[in-house]
Amino acid sequence: MSAFWSRILVTVVGLPVVLGIVWLGGWWIVLLAAVVSLIALHELYRIARSLRPLVLAGYAGAVAALLGAKLGGPEWMIGGFMLTLPLAFLFKGFAGTRQPTTVSVATTVLGAAWIGLGLSHLVLLRHLAPDGRLATFTVLIAVFAADTAAYFAGRLFGRHKLAPVTSPGKTWEGFFVGVVVAVAVPFFALYHQGYLDIPSSLVLGAVIALAGPLGDLFESAVKRDMVVKDTGRLLAGHGGMLDRIDALLFAGVASFYTIVALT
């Protein structure tokens, strides 16, 4: 199966499952986020193994952040994440690797913050009042729809490179199509449901439109540093789990604080 059709298949099968778990909410979304977080962290730490990340510390910090988001909100989430730093330092002492402490600990903390906190904000978003379910659906669909639209637009008529060094496949044409889709989804989903007014829905769409590609480009820069094309092959044409959620990790955080500020 070609990469193109495998991307379609993964989206058709995976997106309804994710949306179904988001619909259920509660501990189901925490479990989903934890599984995704651990897989994505495993992929990141595998491609960055030359930097000697303290893997167990990163796993523990990410899971603690997710549990904190569920049990106590943003404050507990940050408290859980902060476990990463002392654990990483402690494990570095036991590991005794030659890689400098600064590099090993920094790589560990980066993973827990990027992936663990990124997904923890989706847990926070799902528990927002008055309707976290609708807000989370909207953000997920906006991110994935914009990413898909940008991909196809870039393949069909993309001519001008967006970031030729960092991510040669991205085009300005695809970016602008993705912006239109990212702005349209919150407008139709949240304004027409009375969740946000017109200006607020457009602001949220603009935030998603910018944060999503930034997340994508950030992951591309990390992969370029590590000299890899994809973080894994788990999702066939999509690459690894981290390749699939890279835009969401930035857009989810930005969306949560934007919605809190606007409601």
Higher pLDDT among residues 185 and 130, named by residue: 185
Residue 144, Cα to own-chain centre: how many angstroms?
Answer: 11
Decide if 79 contacts 68 (C-beta within 8 A): yes
**Three-class DSSP category at 253:** helix
Of 202, 222, 207, 189, nearest to 253 (Cα)? 207
Q: Using CA atoms, how far apart are residues 32 and 256, in angstroms rounded to an integer?
A: 18
Summarised one tens digit per residue, pLDDT across range 152-172 is 898 888 788 988 888 888 899
For the chain, the structural domain boundaries read 1-127, 132-263
Band (pLDDT 50/70/90 cuts) for residue 7 is low
pTM (predicted TM-score): 0.92
Q: ∠ CA(226), CA(252), CA(36), 5° rounding?
A: 60
Summarised one tens digit per residue, pLDDT across range 75-106 is 999 999 999 999 999 999 887 778 899 999 99
- 198 contacts: CB under 8 Å, gap ≥ 6: 187, 191
Decide if 58 contacts 45 (C-beta within 8 A): yes
